Amino acid sequence: MPRIPKWLGDTMETVFSRMIIPVEVTGTEYLFPDLKRVIMEGDFTKARYAPGNVIEFRVTDTDFRHYTLSAFDREKGICEMLVYLHGRGVGSNWAATLKVGSRARLMGPGGKIKYKEAATRHFVFGDETSVGLMECITREAMKRGHTCYCLAELDPPHHSWTHRLGFQAVTVEKDYEPAARYAAESIAAMDAAFWQQWKDAAFYITGRAKSIQAVRRVLVQKGITLKNILTEPYWAEGKTGL
């Protein structure tokens, strides 16, 4: 969401008050200097959550930001998110200040991404902003006995992230122009047997808007139907607050 006037932010919190859940930070961990796990507790008994959903916080008087939940337990009243601290915006700055005892007002969960229970194979693509989704979908797939394949385009200093997080992922270098070149090449190189097995899989394509477009185009060329491709841009050049 782009920057809005304070009065409008106040109005939105009033109008959507039923969707706001007060939470308290009960744990934080720096997995890497720029990757932070935040654990929060609250009353989630009325929350409608599906793995892959995003949540939203008001991070300043005039700014709201979305984050993907990496874990959620309604009964225990616990949720987690992995935050990429890139240091280039108010959302990153806000997340960096979170510590045990910090309080926030969580809006959601919701969003375009929702784990497709009918699929037995799940393909997740994204970048540093998507590792929480990768962890979430991997956990859900393991719980259900499904298969999950993660493809992560990361800057070279971050190539060890997925190993630390404990899920398997194919890692390629991020390319800004043309967008997702190495990711697209990796997908294009997969043989016909792979696509025969994965033609009915669920594809969750997130991260940079231009990378999403490039990867979706290659998937369609491989015969994947658009109904099986779920997309949600987490960021785009020149835009704030996605």
Tens digit of pLDDT for each residue in 13-57?
776 777 899 999 999 999 999 999 999 999 999 999 999 999 999
Please check whether residue 221 lies inside any domain of the structure.
Answer: yes
Same structural domain for residues 83 and 10? yes
Please check whether residue 17 lies inside any domain of the structure.
Answer: yes
Sheet holding 202-208, edge to edge: 170-173, 147-154, 121-126, 202-208, 229-235
Same structural domain for residues 131 and 104? no
- The pTM assigned to this predicted structure is 0.92
Query: Other CB atoms closer than 10 Å to residue 58's CB: what's the count?
Result: 20
Residue 1 has pLDDT above 70, yes or no: no
Please check whether residue 1 lies inside any domain of the structure.
Answer: no
Q: What's the CA gap between 62 and 105, in Å, rounded?
A: 15
Average pLDDT over residues 154-159: 93
Same structural domain for residues 82 and 163? no
Same structural domain for residues 62 and 159? no
Phi, psi of 125 (to 5 degrees): -125, 145
Average pLDDT over residues 169-185: 92
Look at residues 91, 110, 129 and tell me which one is the last residue of a structural domain: 110
Look at residues 81, 110, 139 and tell me which one is the last residue of a structural domain: 110
Residue 223 has pLDDT above 90, yes or no: yes
Q: Provide the angle, in degrees to the nearest 10, between the axes of the packed helices 209-221 and 181-188.
A: 20
Number of domains, the chain: 2
Domain that holds residue 221: 121-235
Q: What's the CA gap between 74 and 137, in Å, rounded?
A: 17
Same structural domain for residues 205 and 104? no
Nearest Cα neighbor of 166 from 150, 183, 177 is 150
